[in-house]
A and B are shown apart, each in its own frame.
Chain A
Amino acid sequence: MDYAPIASIICAAFAVSFGAIGPALAEGRAVAAAMEAIARQPEAANTISRTLFVGLAMIETTAIYCLVIALLLLFANPMLA
């Protein structure tokens, strides 16, 4: 029995699931902080939300890396070739 495909599928699932935890917590904190800042200073909402979007994209990149690793495991795995 060949264990390489099974192992890579399980590892891909683990990479995405655990890789999503960190960015989820971080994005939650970032949005909460931005909400608080907008509540205190509604006139700065434009600047804050723009910075928030860029920051969220930065944070999201870590999850995207995990997704790319999972896709590499599934579709471009040298062990399965």
Chain B
Amino acid sequence: MNSPLEATVLLHLGPVPITQAIVTTWAIMIVLVLGAVALTRRLGDIPSRRQAALELMVAALDTQIVETTEADPAPYRGFVGTLFLFILVANWSSLIPGIEPPTARLETDAALAALVFASVIWFGVRGNGVGGYLKSFAAPNPVMIPLNILQSLTRVFSMFVRLFGNVMSGVFVVGIVASLAGLLIPIPLMALDLLTGLVQAYIFAVLAMVFITSTVADGKRAKPAADPSPVSTKKGP
């Protein structure tokens, strides 16, 4: 049985090995980008049927962002929505025979988690400036600084191990059952994989959203404490 921790190299482009996961990832990216371009062409004030369906999806995404974090969804919609859609399509790509989902490989999940780590810094700095972002590490009080730094790394690590473990174990179990029992036996397990894939994509997106907004909120809370003068001037007669 193939190790789930090693990648199958299909070909070499110069010194760069091209694995199966990379090919699948690029195929998914092409499908998503072309689909997005095709769906958003000719948007009008009076929505066509296609545009209404699209707006329904975006509105559902916005509702989820608002309900989980109570933040304005506009700055986060693109990143979190793309994250969710990509992971969902990647998880469900195992339905096509012969294709292994790229999220069942460590490197894809590590890349996604690194994206989340970078976006936490990006949104934190954009929301509160560099100083505000750094102050978010001292969120409840400065004693927590080492723990907060450790947490910002471990939560991203646990995110990618969670996604990898769930998707990979699904693929692995289907492979084992198919090799032991026969061709059509693992179909119920594959149906369960569909549910797992959806839930994991949702959880990855929600956790990314929660990490980003909690960093932004911590930085905002740290700001008035550091600079109390504008508050005191407002209290005048």
The chain A residues found within 8 Å of chain B, CB to CB, are 47, 50, 53-54, 57, 60-61, 64-65, 67-68, 71-72, 75-76
Are A57 and B199 within 8 A (Cβ)? yes
User: B24-40 CB contact bits vs A (8 Å, 1 = yes)?
Assistant: 00000000000000000
Residues of B within 8 A of A50 (CB): 67-68
CA distance A76 to B158 in the complex (A): 20
Looking across the interface, which residue of chain A has its beta carbon closest to that of B206?
A: A54
Residues of B within 8 A of A65 (CB): 161, 165
Are B6 and A75 within 8 A (Cβ)? yes
Residues of A within 8 A of B164 (CB): 68
Residues of B within 8 A of A57 (CB): 162, 199-200, 203
Contact of A61 among B3, B4, B67, B162 (CB under 8 A): B162
Contact of B5 among A47, A60, A75 (CB under 8 A): A75
The chain B residues found within 8 Å of chain A, CB to CB, are 3-6, 67-68, 158, 161-162, 164-166, 169, 199-200, 202-203, 206-207
Interface of A is mostly: helix
Residues of B within 8 A of A68 (CB): 161, 164-165
Are B4 and A54 within 8 A (Cβ)? no
Are A64 and B3 within 8 A (Cβ)? no
